[in-house]
Amino acid sequence: MTLHREGTPTILLVTTLVVLINTGVCYATANTLVMGLTLFITTGFWLFILSFFRIPSRVHTIQEGAVIAPADGEVVVIEEVQADEYFTDRRIQVSIFMSPLNVHVNRNPISGQVVYSQYHPGKYLVAWHPKSSTENERHSVVYNTQGKEILVKQIAGALAKRIVNYLKPGQQVKQTEEMGFIKFGSRVDLLLPLDAKILVKLGDKPQGGVTVLATL
Q: Which residues are catalytic?
A: 186
Q: How confident is the model at residue 17 (pLDDT cuts 50, 70, 90)?
A: very high
- State residue 182's pLDDT score: 85
What percent of the chain clears pLDDT 90, i.e. is strictly above it?
62
Residue 121 vs residues 148, 156, 175: alpha-carbon distances, Å: 28, 10, 27
What value does the CA radius of gyration of the chain take, rounded to a whole number of Å? Answer: 20
The answer to whether 76 touches 96, Cβ cutoff 8 Å, is yes
State residue 49's pLDDT score.
Answer: 86
Amino acid code (one letter) for 143: Y
Give the mean pLDDT of the chain.
Answer: 89
Q: Residue 3 — very low, low, confident or very high, per pLDDT cuts 50/70/90? A: confident
Residue 195 clears pLDDT 90, i.e. is over it: yes
Grade residue 128 by pLDDT with cuts at 50, 70 and 90.
low
Q: What percent of the chain has pLDDT over 70?
A: 90
Residues 6 or more apart whose CB falls under 8 angstroms from that of 130 comprise: none
CB-based contacts of 123, cutoff 8 Å, min separation 6: 132, 135, 136, 137
Query: Phi and psi at residue 17, in whole multiples of 5°?
Result: -65, -40
Nearest to 107 by CA among 191, 167, 170: 167
Q: Where are the domains of the chain?
A: 2-55, 66-215
How do residues 30-86 score in pLDDT, each as one tens digit?
888 888 899 999 999 999 888 878 888 899 999 999 999 999 999 999 999 999 899
pLDDT tier at 27, thresholds 50, 70, 90? confident
Instruction: Choose among 117, 108, 121: nearest CA to 86.
Output: 117
pLDDT interval class at 149 (50, 70, 90): very high
160 pLDDT tier (thresholds 50, 70, 90): low
Mean pLDDT of 173-189: 88
Q: How far apart are CA 130 and CA 126, in angstroms?
A: 9
pLDDT at 208: 94
Q: How confident is the model at residue 114 (pLDDT cuts 50, 70, 90)?
A: very high
Look at residue 34 and give its three-state secondary structure.
Answer: helix
**CA 74/CA 95 separation, integer angstroms:** 8
As its CATH architecture, domain 66-215 has Distorted Sandwich (2.70)
Name the maximum alpha-carbon separation found in the chain. 69
72 vs 157, which has greater pLDDT? 72
pLDDT greater at residue 73 or residue 186: 73
pTM of the shown model? 0.84
pLDDT number for residue 131:
56
Cβ atoms of 99 and 83 within 8 Å: the answer is no
Specify the pLDDT at position 34: 87
Cα angle at 156 between 179 and 128, to 5 degrees?
A: 115
